[in-house]
Amino acid sequence: MEPQSGGRRHFLKTVTTAGGALLAGSSPGWAAANDRIRVAIIGMGGRGMDLVRSAAATEGVETATICDPDETRMAKASAEVQSRTGRTPKSEPDLRRIMDDRTIDAVIITSCNHWHALTTVWACQAGKHVYVEKPIAHNVVEGRRRVEAARKYGRIVQAGTQRRSSGRYRKAIQVLREGAIGDLYMAHWVFAGPRETIGFAKPEPPPSSLHWDLWLGPARQQPYHKNLVHYNWHWFWDFGNGDIGNNGAHFMDIACWGMNKGYPSRVVCTGGRYGYKDQGEVPNTYYAAMEYADGTQLTCEVQGLYTNQETRVEFFGSKGYMRLDTRGACQLFMGRSKKPEADIGKLEDEDHFRNFIGALRAGKREMLNCEIEQAEAPTAHCHLANISWRLKRELRFDPKSRKFVGDAEADRMLGREYRAPYVLPERV
């Protein structure tokens, strides 16, 4: 690639990392656009629209393409991009065409969970950097496969767990690392998110604006019904992971971050879909407990019906405990005291998307606040809990092999069957 005329800088940066040569920008459009980073945003739901706005507000970033199998959502997102930037992006319902577009530098993935891993692997193979929303994968095998793809192709991949960029949470983790509450022996989180029944929806022809085969992607062939598109897919195993892998993924990430652990060695999960009978398959109420090889623990609850509890994360140590809630408060209670210590303060907040763009420009994955491998084990905790719930028994897990101990039935649930041609490669 030759330097551009007219004083434009050649923006191809090569940085040597542990994984080899890492290219900050590798598309022809990168240098030709006077340092603009051209992104494609895949998935035009709530988070997709949030990231449309983030991209529009980030200097030097151009939303070149928007992608969604629903033409109606693409039209809405296209109008949003045009109103904020004065540019009309390309609309493309088939994300495979984005992988073929050599002018795209990075993809932003905010699609359904069952598409996250395959899209990331394809993007890395196509030489594109990736920002992918939580959970980073639909199952345990997919989580590791995408880390392998990022390393093999030298791509910068940010996991969309935005609390890693919060000054309050980063300060809390710093305080834990400094030993403020002593040796940690347990973390516990609660997600209190009441959900109403979704009822029952009958199969029917999909809307003419929806590319149903593309929406299904890797999932098994099945008829369209209104309880899948566009949100309640979260409550069906083919597409989602329940609220433990939806909103709970954020709090699982914080708990694992604070405990500074990898995979657990033992997991048990109980619960059910209580309070109503409907078409949903996943629990609305969970209680899960994980134990690590050293005997420390992580426990969690999803409360999907009415509750007087509030969403929070707690850490317990030999000297006291820490309590973080969604209002941003972080309190330390030492010994048996019921009175919290003075406020711990906070570090500066960072914009999670801009953190990704900054790392991309510098060609340094170590700048990411949540590099893809950091999100692998926390996400797997959610999947392991779901496997335990589905099998209705305690499971033992080997963190080194990333398989269950002497349990072929559980091992089969670490991955999934794929519908051709939307197949995750066994070797990336």
- Whether residue 282 contacts residue 241, with contact meaning beta carbons closer than 8 Å, is answered with yes
Judge contact between 189 and 256, C-beta under 8 A.
no
Strand, coil or helix: what is 304? coil
Nearest 5°: phi and psi at 267? -145, 140
What letters, b where the CB count within 10 A reaches 16 and e where it falls short, cover 219-241?
A: beeeebeebbbbebbbbbbbbbb
Do both 293 and 328 map to the same domain? yes
Report the 10 Å Cβ neighbour count for 41: 29
Domain range for 332: 168-348+372-404
User: What is the model's pLDDT at position 25?
Assistant: 53
The H or E element spanning position 158 is: strand 157-160
Residues 397 and 256 in one domain: yes
Query: 177 and 62, same structural domain?
Result: no
- CATH number of the CATH domain containing 243: 3.30.360.10
Query: Which CATH number do you get for residue 69?
Result: 3.40.50.720
Asked if pLDDT for residue 30 goes beyond 60, the answer is: no
Residues 179 and 148 in one domain: no
> Does pLDDT of 351 surpass 60?
yes
Contact 167, 347 (CB under 8 A): yes
Helices within 183-273 (DSSP H only): 212-216, 242-245, 248-259
Across the chain, what does the average pLDDT equal?
92
b/e string for 73-91 if b means 16 or more Cβ within 10 A? Answer: bbeebbebbeeebeeebbb
Q: Tell me the percentage of the chain whose pLDDT exceeds 70.
A: 92
Average pLDDT over residues 261-284: 97
Q: Is residue 326 over pLDDT 70?
A: yes
Q: 323: Cβ–Cβ under 8 A, 6 or more apart, which residues?
A: 312, 313, 314, 329, 330, 331, 333, 340
Q: What is the pLDDT of residues 278-320, one digit of tens each?
A: 999 999 999 999 999 999 999 999 999 999 889 999 999 999 9
Q: Is the model's pLDDT at 5 over the cut of 60?
A: no
Got the DSSP string for 395-407? Answer: EEEETTTTEETT-
Tens digits of residue pLDDT in 327-345: 778 999 999 999 999 889 8
Is 6's pLDDT higher than 80?
no
Question: Given this model, what pLDDT does residue 35 score?
Answer: 83
Angle of helix 46-56 versus helix 352-362 axis, rounded to 10:
60
Three-state DSSP at 108 gives: strand
- pLDDT tens by residue, 82-107: 999 999 999 999 999 999 999 999 99
Same-domain pairing of 142 and 186: no
19 has a pLDDT exceeding 80: no
- Tell whether 97 and 160 lie within a shared domain: yes
Q: Confirm whether pTM is higher than 0.85.
A: yes
Any residues with CB less than 8 A from the CB of 360 and at least 6 apart, and which? Answer: 24, 25, 37, 105, 106, 129, 156
